[in-house]
Structure 1
């Protein structure tokens, strides 16, 4: 099985089979159904979600269990056609440039970077470490000038 949810036709077929059964017996029936298809000609495996469904068409020619699965198959076919067309034309598709959202999971309780390299690529611009002497110099200048650009007056200067 692939990682696609079962379509509406597959769910409908499964509910037909297990209606009125106890849970344990229904689980066994569904497990057996997923392992192999029954002998009924109308029961097929969906071309997209791979779950069994009953084909209710007149000619018994359905390939998918529902409209969503049919759209999924068409999307995959279109993607393959575009890739083949580019390959025949000799055009190599460019790789998309990674964005911050691709490498940083911020919507979680504890946000994290997917790789340390991606973190360093962005954070070097903002976090530039300073020497201890430079930090002392900045602190001293702030004591002398404060927030503005004039020297602070001391008590001794005011008395004179």
Structure 2
């Protein structure tokens, strides 16, 4: 199973910024990194209006893919929300770790972005907590990445 760490916290608390700096530093340490964004508002568009794949989607296809020599993208309608493990197993088999922005209700280990202990406690939900980070913690990313590496090493042992 692919190791997953959820980055959780209130809206507009810089989870995306934390994801960006974590991804860059994990890549600097030669890890293959995947990222998933949870979209709690239902339907969404990732395609570019007017492009062929967008036209196919608007015409009603159930699955549309775009493929080139350097990238592959897939947009697929689903009957029900996919579990994070399903997504990782099906679409991220070639990475060392997946960072998931959101997925607050999952049972996965997490890094909590919060400005108070009260806010942090909301997002623990009985799950393993790798780190709790305030906005100032975004400036000192090394200790957080070290904890992620330790998590990966312990995941490989078990």
Give the TM-score range, shorter chain: under 0.3
Higher strand share: 2
Task: Pick 1 or 2: higher relative contact order, CA cutoff 8 A, min separation 6.
Answer: 2
Structure with greater helix share of residues: 1
Q: Which one has a bigger Cα radius of gyration? A: 1
TM-score normalised according to structure 2 size? 0.17
What TM-score do you get using the length of structure 1 for normalisation?
0.17
